[in-house]
A and B are shown apart, each in its own frame.
Chain A
């Protein structure tokens, strides 16, 4: 079995390398190589950071919530991101947003989002026995609230300022916030280093909370670490590439099925590679076939949304 799994992981990585090569190399010629190649390579790097952040955070989040169709985005973390960006424009004007040092702005956003995850977490552990479903519900409602408040503010601001805010909020893959790649990579890397050593404890948690506690997993600490790491990763990925709600559901489930595994070490690799393939293929389609007429987030959300529906239908049938 492990040999076949290794085999399948290798196939996945090869496909990914092929797509990456296609994206980086198609259409290059002597005149544009000096400009296009470094730019494309930076985009590939940024997408790798986003893929790791979304893939790993969703894998761990699904295990913690014991639900295979949830992602950290669904509990409102990316709505909160939209809300923060809009309020900056609303309160201080677009000039403030553009003048603000990118990295400082980014770090402040990550800090606020992590604090929000902390509040959600403390709500969850208010009773001594943590109730993860309550956390998810609270997050869903809070996410709707943030989204509604953000669109209210968007309606009230000056159209010119709205255009600036929109560019920031829907940092799409056509318009990656490339100057942030370095600091985002650092944040995602740090969160990954903190949360990845828990991979075997997460494997046990897949048996259910009671079983994991019975086998000696220190449950509250594990949930706290994973939740904070997910908050950092999702905010970093969203700042860099904009919200892609459905990508991580697709990536984790496809990895789980393709590699036939419940082990989080495999899922981390699988989900990262699958989402990188999706991002690159989506970008390739948008740039070469659709001539930039459609934002690639839309393409990816379309594919991811269809996959999520298929997943729901299949679960509904088997239950």
Chain B
């Protein structure tokens, strides 16, 4: 269970998060939504201990993040940030093998090998395992990074804009994979995501932020409504029901 209590964050006097408290449900996809600069990525970074908070506390399975041994926490929680620029040349297989670092500290054993294979085949990228990352398309590269996170085999998976730069086909594939992680492997997935129709169709729990404050949290029935969305984005958004999904129409 991930519990967030009174989290605040400020950069040199500027508050980017104010008094955020919420609990993220187990075995669900939770999505953080909000405009640019609302504090979604900052909150995700604080939960995953990449950024220290200015106040408050995040508890992972009852223990404050700061009290976790960093190696043990890496077996419980995996995180992927938006920019994955590197100046080293790696193959897909080498990258995915890094996901096993918390377990084997760089000396892969048979178990690690099996987990790497499983992660590659789960994302259907076994055929490109020997290709270098810089030779791949953005979509394939993103899949390779997700495979690394899957190889890390953690209960919690935190992703910052996993659909960034993906085409429609890769986006749908990505969301289906995340759905499978939750439904078949029992994981808890937490995303920062901009496309509210993907949120509406795939997320179980939605957390809405505006200007560093929590403005709503709940299922799609609670959040995907014209009134709440207007409050988050300041836009009139028409919502249509199509085959049981709520689709937001905001192109007009």
Are the CB atoms of A203 and B106 closer together than 8 Å? yes
Which chain B residue has the least Cβ–Cβ distance from A200?
B106
In the assembled complex, A104 has its CB within 8 A of some CB on chain B: no
Query: Is A316 an interface position by the 8 A CB rule?
Result: no
Partner of B70, one of A68, A203, A213: A213
Chain B residues whose C-beta falls within 8 Å of the C-beta of A213 in the assembled complex: 49-50, 70
Residue A188 at the B interface, CB < 8 A?
Answer: no
| B243 is an interface residue with CB less than 8 A from chain A | no
A148 at the interface (CB under 8 A from B): no
On whether the beta carbons of B98 and A216 are closer than 8 Å, the reply is: no
Kindly provide the distance from the CB of B137 to the nearest chain A CB, expressed in whole angstroms: 18
How far, in Å, is B66 (CB) from chain A's closest CB? Answer: 11
- A128 interfacial contact with B, CB 8 Å: yes
Contact B101 A204 (CB under 8 A): yes
The residues of A that contact B98 with a CB separation of less than 8 Å are: 204, 207, 211, 215
Known: A129-B51, A203-B106. A216 touches B101 (CB 8 A): yes
- What does the 1/0 interface line of A179-212 toward B look like (CB < 8 Å)? 0000000000000000000001101101110110
The reply to whether A262 and B90 contact each other, CB–CB distance below 8 Å, is yes
CB contacts (< 8 Å) of B99 on chain A: these are 215
Q: What distance in Å separates the Cβ of A317 from its nearest Cβ neighbour in chain B? A: 15
Tell me whether A105 is interfacial, beta carbon within 8 Å: no
Who on chain A is nearest to B80 by CB?
A214
User: B48 in the interface, Cβ–Cβ < 8 Å?
Assistant: yes
Q: Is the CB of B70 within 8 A of A206?
A: no
| Interchain nearest-CB distance for A260 vs B (Å) | 8
Contact with B along A73-104 (1 / 0, CB 8 A): 00000000000000000000000000000000
- Specify which chain B residues have a CB less than 8 angstroms from the CB of A207 in the assembled complex: 84, 86, 88, 98
Q: B52 touching A216 by the CB < 8 A rule?
A: no
Compute how far the CA of A201 lies from the CA of B48 in the bound complex, rounded to whole angstroms: 19
A208 in contact with B85 (CB, 8 Å): yes
Known: A200-B106, A204-B106. Contact between A216 and B84, CB under 8 A? no
Let me know if B216 is at the binding interface, CB within 8 A: no
CA distance A218 to B71 in the complex (A): 8
B71 and A262 contacting across the interface, CB-CB below 8 Å? no
A312 vs B86: C-alpha distance when bound (angstroms): 17
- Knowing A128-B52, A200-B105, A203-B106 are in contact, say whether A216-B88 is a contact too (CB < 8 A): no
A129 to B101, CA, bound (A): 23
With A and B bound together, what is the CA distance between A128 and B70 in angstroms?
16
The size class of the interface chain B forms with chain A is 20 to 34
Q: A203-B106, A204-B106, A208-B84 are in contact. Are A216 and B89 (CB under 8 A)?
A: no
Give complex CA distance A66, B89 in Å: 14
Is the CB of B123 closer than 8 A to any CB of chain A? Answer: no
**B87 interface hit (Cβ, 8 Å):** yes
A216's partner among B75, B85, B87 (CB-CB below 8 A) is: B75
The yes or no answer to A107 lying at the interface (CB within 8 A) is no
Taking the nearest CB of chain B, how far is it from the CB of A259, in angstroms?
Answer: 12
A218 engages B70 (CB within 8 Å): yes
Interface centre among A200, A211, A216, A260 (most CB of B within 10 A): A216
- Alpha-carbon separation in the docked complex, A218 to B78 (Å): 15
Task: Say yes or no: A206 contacts B86, CB within 8 Å.
Answer: yes
CA distance A218 to B68 in the complex (A): 11
Indicate if A157 sits at the interface (CB-CB under 8 A): no
CA distance A213 to B98 in the complex (A): 12
Q: Report B40-74 residues with CB < 8 Å from chain A CB.
A: 48-52, 70-74
Say whether A214 contacts B87, CB under 8 Å. no
Chain A residue numbers with a CB within 8 Å of B71 are 216, 218
Q: Is the CB of A217 within 8 A of B88?
A: no
Q: Least Cβ distance of B36 to chain A in Å?
A: 20
Residues in A whose Cβ lies below 8 Å from that of B25: none
Bound Cα distance from A68 to B86, whole angstroms: 11
Docked pose: A262 CA to B79 CA in angstroms:
22
Known: A129-B51, A203-B106, A216-B73. A211 touches B88 (CB 8 A): no
- For this complex, 28 residue pairs linking A to B, each with C-beta atoms less than 8 Å apart, are A68-B87, A200-B106, A203-B106, A204-B98, A204-B101, A204-B106, A207-B86, A208-B85, A208-B86, A210-B81, A214-B48, A214-B74, A214-B78, A214-B79, A215-B74, A215-B98, A215-B101, A215-B152, A216-B70, A216-B74, A216-B75, A216-B101, A216-B102, A217-B70, A218-B70, A218-B71, A262-B89, A262-B90
Instruction: Report which B residues bind A (CB closer than 8 A).
Output: 48-52, 70-75, 78-81, 84-90, 98-99, 101-102, 105-107, 152
Give 6 A-B pairs besides A204-B106, A216-B74, A216-B101 with Cβ atoms closer than 8 angstroms: A129-B52, A207-B88, A208-B86, A214-B79, A214-B80, A262-B88
